[in-house]
Chains A and B, each alone.
Chain A
Amino acid sequence: MNDSNERRVISVIVVNEASVLSRITNLFSGRGYNITSLTVAPIPESKYSRLTIVTKGSVRVIEQITKQLHKLIPVLRVYEHADIVEKEMALVKFPISENITDIDTLCQAYNGKIVNVGENVVIAMVADESKRVENFLTAIKRFNPKEIVRSGAVALER
């Protein structure tokens, strides 16, 4: 398995029941697969939840991941598509002393805005492709961010 490690986004539809998340994460740790990010939330008006897992691996590993996921009894469907719309959110806390106008302008370029202004800090939000979120986080370094939180990616097939 010498082919390159590619970043892939896998969506998994699972029955929303006790311990289903640990079945998924156990599978990844037990078989030595990588998880870059994982998000999970119930699908409205159904008994299912949707997980979005960002992972890395060779073509063979990714194929194994999807097959092994599918083998889990509560898994209904596994999508591993290249043609997806993908978004990730990040929240960043800045000292109030930074240039808020500049931060706001930058946020807008990444589909975001300032969402909270407090006594000592402002909190900004962006929602964009994971790669662009990364670019944003590089760009805001000069505003001395105090804290950063990323949501992990969510994705839908086109």
Chain B
Amino acid sequence: MQISGAQMVIEAFIAEGVDTVFGYPGGAIMNVYDEIYKQDGFVHILNRHEQASVHAAEGYAKASGKVGVAMITSGPGFTNAVTGLADAYMDSIPLVVVSGQVPMSLIGTDGFQEIDAIGISRPCTKHNYLVTDAADLPRVLKEAFYIARSGRPGPVHVDIPKDVTAQIAEFNYDIALELETYKPHTKGNPRQIKKAIEAIANAKRPLFYLGGGVINSNAAAEVREFVHTTGIPAVETFMARGTLSHDDDLLVGMLGMHGSYAANMAMSETDLVIGLGARFDDRVTGKLSEFAKNADVIHVDIDPASISKLVNADYPIVGDLKSVVHDMLVHVDKIESDNYESWRETISNFAELHPLTFHEDSQRLKPQWVIQRVGELLGESANISTDVGQHQMWAAQFYPFSHPRQFISSGGLGTMGFGFPAAIGVKAAMPEKTSINFTGDGSILMNVQELMTAVEKKIPVINIILNNNFLGMVRQWQTLFYDKRHSETDLSVQPDFVKLSEAFGGIGYRVKTKEEFDAALKDAVEKNVVAFIEVIVERFENVMPMVPAGGSLFNMMLLEKKESK
């Protein structure tokens, strides 16, 4: 069929099963928006900033496991979206982001709203395209979706000049992909798998090190089976939260800079790291030369470049985790769970010695209590998004996650302003679940305009603002490492968050006590509208434990024992 480039974009989205597109129109993308107006194959959600469109698409993708889609115009529309692309690239989130570009005849002339978009997106996308002929569009869009979701997922950017969206050409989406140069590995090498199983069987203190790849490859069920049949304890990275349920006896906890004492000590004492879809990030490993110093390393990853990048893998296995773990389970009878009894005991002693906890305060609410309380009240019925900072770490530490894709946060890039738009995307993907965004008084202002998006589209995200009148995480570092010189982190001058939400048509609560918090949360869930719950919390609370940047995992700053009165 002969249709315009703009129509091709619509047809391709529908063929890919896209049901939601996040975006913002503008000059160069108007032909496509004209076609969006005419169609009813998918819903378009108008964010109030292009960065938010991409974060919303990320939230949608992370919650649903499908490819998230965002659409933006050229120039500033595109540059606003770059943070989202970079965020998705760091966290391996499958996205297709379509941007308009000035007409071909204007490219290179410094035209109005012209920027070298694919030049800018190159280092922060898995792949990108500038489409110069509408006849290429079906192939390019099909490749874009395939590349985004296959292998190690990631964002793909498609830049389309305005005249190409107007150009008429043949559209046939039912074409075979010919990507000679892109063939991601899925099956793990059987010999390597056998060797890895032998290594596990011979280890005395093996430890599962679960990363975000488990969630990306939808392998949590297989991984749970692997953990339970072998009886080997597991630590999760920040990105892997929810892989094992919070009440799983074999879950030691989250490791890393703000990991639990038990998890970090287990990693320091293990003799065999079984790394599944984790990338040995610096926030996880601390000082590399001291990381799992006496251990051999099994490393399963879809991305060969992640293997032996930072920590040498003794048993490298390239492949899709779901498939590899499935193949490993075949040999699992070689592993004797009883052999690890004393190791499990050692770890539970670590946990008893310094459990992950916090001290209650009679004066002010503790932020950790708020997180825990939401967990008690909503548990698995809520999806949890976060912004970036102290509240994010407390959410990762204290929320009782029970399933994968429940926790949506910006890990690799650490993007403040991620949470609210992401929570909108999460709610759009899973409307039956409550969508909570834990945020701080710093982060929430970085995409606060999304109140309008959520109110307009009736997407009832509940934002819980842990307000300590500080840019808390930076303040914590300044307190600990900069001799309490709190440079530019005091956020005491603030908007009235309740009125702010109300100004956009949402509802707002300001709470200072446990009773008030319970009542506000209950009310917000019942009313099922966009809400801000501002919680006044202890100003100087620190995230503990903490491994100072560059320090060894086992050298943690710990929560001070409470003085007995």
List residues of A whose CB falls within 8 A of some B CB: 14-15, 18-19, 22-23, 26, 30, 60, 63-64, 67-68, 70-71, 73-76
Chain A to chain B: the 10 pairs with minimum beta-carbon distance, closest first: A67-B305, A73-B127, A76-B181, A30-B123, A73-B182, A67-B304, A68-B305, A26-B122, A71-B305, A74-B181
Nearest CB in chain B to that of A75: its residue? B181
**B119-133 to A contact mask, C-beta < 8 Å, 1/0:** 100110011001000
CA distance A146 to B337 in the complex (A): 76
Are A64 and B305 closer than 8 Å at their CB atoms?
yes
16 contacts between A and B (CB under 8 A): A14-B181, A18-B130, A19-B119, A19-B130, A22-B119, A22-B122, A26-B123, A63-B308, A64-B305, A67-B305, A68-B305, A71-B303, A71-B305, A73-B179, A73-B182, A74-B181
Kindly state whether residue B118 has any CB partner on chain A within 8 Å: yes
Known: A73-B182, A74-B181, A75-B181. A23 touches B122 (CB 8 A): yes
**Per-position 1/0 for B288-315, Cβ under 8 A of A:** 0000000000000001110011000000
> Which chain A residues lie closer than 8 Å to B126 at the CB level?
73
Which partner residue on chain B sits nearest A15 by CB separation?
B181
CA distance A30 to B126 in the complex (A): 14
Point out the residues of chain A lying under 8 angstroms from B488, CB to CB: none
Report the separation of the CA atoms of residues A64 and B305 in the bound assembly, to the nearest whole angstrom. 6
* Total contacting residues, chain B, CB less than 8 A: 17
Complex alpha-carbon distance, A67 and B301, angstroms: 13
Q: How far is the CA of A30 from the CA of B120 in the complex (A)?
A: 12
Most A Cβ at <10 Å: residue of B119, B126, B130, B181? B181
Closest to A19 in B: B118
Q: Is B422 interfacial (CB 8 A cutoff)?
A: no
Give the chain A neighbours of B181 by CB distance below 8 A: 14-15, 73-76
Find residues 10-62 in chain B having any chain A CB closer than 8 Å to their own CB.
Answer: none
B309 touches A64 (CB 8 A): yes
Chain B residues within an 8 Å CB radius of A68: 305
**Contact A60-B180, Cβ < 8 Å, known A22-B122, A23-B122, A26-B122:** no
| Chain B residues near A64 (CB-CB < 8 A) | 305, 309
A74 to B143, CA, bound (A): 12
In the assembled complex, the CB of A140 is this many whole angstroms from the nearest CB of chain B, namely: 41
Contact pattern, B 153-188, Cβ under 8 Å of A = 1, otherwise 0: 000000000000000000000000001111000000
